[in-house]
Structure 1
């Protein structure tokens, strides 16, 4: 999967969730509610990392891989709601870091 497909599929999934939010709660979640959901998922991800390292007990019904992917999904979704072109901004970020750290890329 390329990054544009990731963005497109993430957006379609979020729109389906928005439809459910409207159906059951009469309005879509706000950006702040999305951030709250992300912060909850980050907490779950942290516990899964701790569990993998033997520092937390097994109570979470998700896998580390699922939660990591879900957190990336939330960030992609939030970038669109905040009008941030995540593909361009990631390219800029990576290019800046490569330049800063004198990393030669094979592009």
Structure 2
């Protein structure tokens, strides 16, 4: 799958979540609330990684692979809401790293 398709699908899914937020709370989540959700998911990812290396016990209902994907999804969502062309920025980032 091409990155452009992943980005488009991610944004479309988030739009549907915004519809649920408006229905249930009267407004969609703010960028700050999205960032808080990402922070929570990063914490869950950390626990899953620690569990993988037997440094923590697994108490989350998630999988390591799924949580990594979800964190990427949140970053795509935040880049969209902050008007960051993540595809372009990732390309620039990779070029810099390749030169190093």
> How high is the TM-score relative to the length of structure 2?
0.98
Q: Which runs of 4+ in 1 moved over 2 A?
A: none
Deviation at 1:95, TM superposition (A): 0.5
Structure having the larger proportion of residues in helix? 2
Deviations for 1:15-49, whole angstroms, at most 9, x for unmatched residues?
00000000000000000000000000000000000
Residue segments in structure 1 that go unaligned for 5+ positions in a row: 102-107
Distance in 2 between the 1:41 and 1:96 partners? 28
* Map of 1:78 onto structure 2: 78
Matches within 5 A, 1:1-107: 1-99=1-99, 101=100
Deviations for 1:1-26, whole angstroms, at most 9, x for unmatched residues?
11001100000110000000000000
